[in-house]
Amino acid sequence: MNILYSRSASDARSARPLLLIHGGAGPRSTELALQTEKDYRRGLLAALEAGRHVLEGGQSALDGVCAAVVALEDNPLFNAGCGASLTECGTAEMDAAVMTGDGQAGAVAVSRYARNPVLAARAVMEQTDHVLMVGPGIDLVDRWGLRREPTSYFVTDHRLRQLDSVLAQRQKAARHGTVGAVAIDAAGAVACATSTGGMVGQSVGRVGDTGLIGAGSFAGWDTAAISCTGEGEAFIKGVVAHDIASRIRHGGASLHDAVHATYERELDGRGATGGSIALTPDGQALIAHNSKAMFAGYWDGERTEAFV
């Protein structure tokens, strides 16, 4: 397990608010071939700035993570929103989820119209009695008061070329990617938000871990806020986000030890790669991955840093 950022509870007594983000994990060279390292770093820093502005303004952890993820969804470099990976038919079908430490959660899968799927996930949480909704239509997106876009908005030339390459070679590498954020606010509440376009060349209707609470996203007031990225099927089978939280809740593990044990059992044991960002209400924080590289960053109230 590779660690990009780690913070213990003793180091973080005054670390409120705190924000971690990720922009996907996988082989470094393929994604950097699209744009320069500087462009990715700029995109991560813009997302951190969006979340920081909200959190410093006294808004909630949920507001902060949503602001950060919206910035990443609006950036075509990342696999979420505009620039999402495409299905085998060349369409964008996006998943997203949000969860707060008090157990409230919302998610969407196969989202095609909402400009920002993370806000659709939040709408499910706040405007319905449900947790997961699949394929929310135009009427529902309008009813939620969300901005929508034509399906062509989400499709970029780079993703079309990437799809052609994957379908021609049936590549497995660099087919996945996800964006996400976790935060603790000034009141000590935690939240997570995750959004993805899924896997390049995936079957129409496929749903990955991002929209499944407990697999790619989880938050608990007595455990941690967690957002994952990587090979979605492995994260689903291992219920990775919840497994990390369970090791903290039931085993009394530190955040570092919980993440390490889950990676070893549920990812390494399946030959799968990915990464995660996580933080606890007492200020422990960790950005980790077992892939070759991971786009991520943090703002801890004093310092902002992005990793590409």
pLDDT tens digit sequence for 108-155: 999 999 999 999 999 999 999 999 999 999 999 999 999 999 999 999
pLDDT tens digit sequence for 228-286: 999 999 999 999 999 999 999 999 999 999 999 999 999 999 999 999 999 999 999 99
pLDDT tens digit sequence for 86-104: 999 999 999 999 999 999 9
pLDDT tens digit sequence for 147-195: 999 999 999 998 999 899 888 876 554 556 899 999 999 999 999 999 9
Tokens at residue 107, please? Answer: 């998610």
Residue 179 contacts residue 24 (beta carbons within 8 Å)? yes
pLDDT above 50 for 8: yes
Q: What is the pTM of this model?
A: 0.93
pLDDT tens digit sequence for 60-73: 999 999 999 999 99
**CB within 8 Å of 147: residues ≥ 6 apart:** 114, 115, 116
Give 119's DSSP letter: H
Catalytic residue flag (residue 223): no
Residue 193 contacts residue 224 (beta carbons within 8 Å)? no
Fold for the domain defined by 2-307: Glutamine Phosphoribosylpyrophosphate, subunit 1, domain 1 (3.60.20)
Angle (nearest 5°) at CA 29 between 24 and 31: 45
Q: What is the pLDDT of residue 30?
A: 54
**Amino acid sitting at position 232:** G
83: left (phi over 0), alpha (psi -120 to 50) or beta: left
Q: Go through the chain and tell me how many residues it has.
A: 308
Q: Which helix (H) or strand (E) holds 74?
A: none
Give the bridge partners for 5, in sequence order. Answer: 287
Among 178, 229, 262, 273, the active-site one is 178
Q: What is the pLDDT of residue 173?
A: 46
